[in-house]
């Protein structure tokens, strides 16, 4: 079949039959009510339904013969791949457009403003974005924003205006949290930005709870906890495995633990933040619980002598006896410091900060972000805590590129 020429196309009349393109099967020029004008149409069979469909490709002469062929060939390629081009186009049209950072911020601000009782805070929130953020990344789609972009925004005033910088960082985190909650991004880039910025002020350098460097923890476990015999050793290992606080471990009760589901639920009255906290238990944590069964009807880690909770000093004394070094090089590592070891490990291994913060039962200081993150992410944390347990026990794990889910 001869290829349609411009001479023949320009001569098309309203009462003519459609002119086949000749170069692409099913592509033809349908005459309009005006001589020399028409519309392109591609007739194809849907690979999904087996029914004939007609796709419009624009008007002639605005869409020339070569351009119509190019569009038709692209559609034919989709059909050959088992895709209905009209369905694909409809889905693309229905999908929400990726917002820029400024658009996302303005939507979030509008959503949250009615819940803020202080009008000054409403204005300060969005004004800080205009002053410090929008001129740098406001026009960028949220999908393209990386931790480096966030750090570059904050760096000029991170040390000079520490309080302002912290507030702006929290607000940026809320915006990216909104983008995450709405499916535009897979993780919040603000979660790891602290690794790209210097610490703010002298207070940030104070080590309240000396922590063992995370890379040194497996060697400590292998040397001192691999053949656990005492309640103290079991309690300390259980503390490491769960990233729980010392008081939560020492007061752990059998009634809080679901052995069938491998979940420990600490009631609100025993939590620092006053909110019940669920902890997924790794295989190693379950082994410790099995070893502790039968020692006390109520307590998981009872004091061997008095059959009451272990004292606050027991774990500290154990660490001193084992010469557990901390990252200061001078002070003994503390039981609480292993929470910091876990947090550093999670960050270096690129687990989302939200997973780690929930594992530590930390309160989300940014109330705006908290409003969009109510799920405790138990299934995700179960995978992360098993990987942490494997690391503590000296087992090699696959790189954290794709994290599978484990049923609760």
Residue for token pair 């499916």: 183
- Supply the pLDDT for residue 275: 86
**Would you say residue 307 has pLDDT above 80?**
no
Percent of the chain with pLDDT over 90: 63
16-26 pLDDT, tens digit per residue, is: 999 999 999 99
- Supply the pLDDT for residue 260: 95
Q: How confident is the model at residue 405 (pLDDT cuts 50, 70, 90)?
A: very low
* C-beta separation of 27 from 55 below 8 A: no
Residue for token pair 């909770």: 309
H helix runs in 81-161, sequence order? 85-94, 101-112, 119-128, 134-137, 147-154
**Would you say residue 1 has pLDDT above 80?**
no
CA-based angle 140:142:147, to the nearest 5? 90
152 three-class SS:
helix
317-359 pLDDT, tens digit per residue, is: 888 888 887 765 556 788 999 999 999 999 999 999 889 999 9
Residue for token pair 């760096």: 155
Q: How confident is the model at residue 182 (pLDDT cuts 50, 70, 90)?
A: confident
CA dihedral 7, 13, 18, 20 (to 10 degrees): 0
- Supply the pLDDT for residue 255: 95
Which of 81-85, 92-96, 289-293 has the lowest average pLDDT?
A: 92-96
Average pLDDT score over residue span 57-69: 95
- In sequence order, what are the residues at sequence separation of 6 or more whose Cβ sits closer than 8 angstroms to the Cβ of residue 199? 205
**Would you say residue 64 has pLDDT above 80?**
yes
Question: In terms of Cα–Cα distance, which of 357, 378, 356 is closest to 366?
Answer: 357
Domains of the chain: 6-94 (3.30.160.390), 101-203 (1.10.150.130), 214-392 (1.10.443.10)
How far apart CA 204 and CA 166 sit, in angstroms, is: 13
- Supply the pLDDT for residue 316: 86
- Supply the pLDDT for residue 314: 87
**Would you say residue 248 has pLDDT above 90?**
yes
**Would you say residue 135 has pLDDT above 80?**
yes
Please confirm whether the linkage preceding 53 is cis (ω < 30° from 0).
no
Which of 87-91, 170-174, 389-393 has the lowest average pLDDT?
A: 87-91
Q: How confident is the model at residue 370 (pLDDT cuts 50, 70, 90)?
A: very low
Helix (H) or strand (E) holding 14: none
- Supply the pLDDT for residue 404: 41
230 three-class SS:
coil
SS (H, E, C) 193-216: HHHHCCCCCHHHHCCCCCCCCHHH
* C-beta separation of 186 from 180 below 8 A: yes
Phi-psi region of 100 (alpha: psi -120 to 50; beta: other; left: phi over 0): beta
**Would you say residue 105 has pLDDT above 50?**
yes
- Supply the pLDDT for residue 284: 95
Question: In terms of Cα–Cα distance, which of 312, 351, 108, 329 is closest to 212?
Answer: 329
């Amino acid at each position: 079949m001869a290829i349609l020429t411009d001479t023949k196309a320009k001569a098309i009349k309203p009462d003519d039959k459609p002119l086949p393109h000749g170069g692409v099967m099913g592509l033809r020029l349908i005459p309009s009510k005006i001589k020399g004008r028409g519309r392109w149409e591609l007739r194809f069979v849907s690979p999904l339904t087996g029914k004939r469909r007609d796709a419009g490709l624009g008007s002639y002469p605005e869409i020339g013969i070569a351009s119509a062929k190019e569009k038709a060939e692209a559609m034919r390629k989709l059909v050959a791949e088992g895709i209905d081009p009209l369905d694909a186009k409809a889905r693309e049209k229905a999908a929400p457009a990726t917002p820029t950072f400024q658009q996302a911020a303005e939507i979030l601000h509008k959503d949250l403003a009615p819940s803020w009782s202080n009008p000054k805070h409403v204005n300060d929130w969005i004004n800080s974005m205009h002053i410090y953020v929008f001129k740098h990344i406001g026009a960028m789609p949220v999908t393209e924003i990386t931790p480096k972009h966030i750090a570059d925004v904050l760096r000029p005033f991170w040390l000079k205006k520490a309080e302002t910088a912290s507030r702006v960082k929290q607000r940026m985190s809320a915006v990216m949290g909104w983008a995450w909650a709405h499916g535009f991004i897979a993780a919040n880039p603000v979660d790891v930005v602290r690794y790209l910025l210097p610490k703010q002020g002298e207070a940030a350098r104070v080590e309240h709870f000396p922590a063992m460097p995370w890379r040194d923890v497996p060697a400590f476990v292998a040397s001192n906890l691999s053949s656990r015999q005492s309640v103290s050793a079991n309690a300390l290992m259980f503390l490491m495995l769960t990233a729980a606080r010392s008081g939560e471990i020492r007061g752990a009760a059998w009634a809080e633990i679901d052995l069938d589901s491998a979940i420990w639920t600490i009631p609100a009255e025993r939590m620092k933040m006053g909110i019940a906290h669920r902890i997924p238990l790794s295989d190693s944590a379950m082994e410790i619980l099995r070893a502790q069964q039968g020692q006390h009807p109520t307590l998981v880690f009872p004091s061997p002598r008095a059959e009451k909770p272990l004292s606050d000093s027991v774990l500290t004394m154990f660490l001193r006896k084992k010469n557990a070094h901390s990252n200061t090089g001078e002070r003994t590592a503390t039981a609480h410091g292993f929470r910091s070891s876990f947090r550093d490990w999670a960050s270096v291994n690129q687990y989302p900060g939200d997973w780690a913060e929930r594992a530590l039962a930390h309160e989300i200081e940014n109330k705006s972000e908290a409003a969009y993150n109510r799920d405790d992410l138990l299934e995700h944390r179960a995978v992360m805590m098993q990987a942490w347990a494997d690391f503590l026990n000296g087992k090699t794990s696959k790189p954290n590129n794709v994290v599978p889910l484990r049923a609760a």
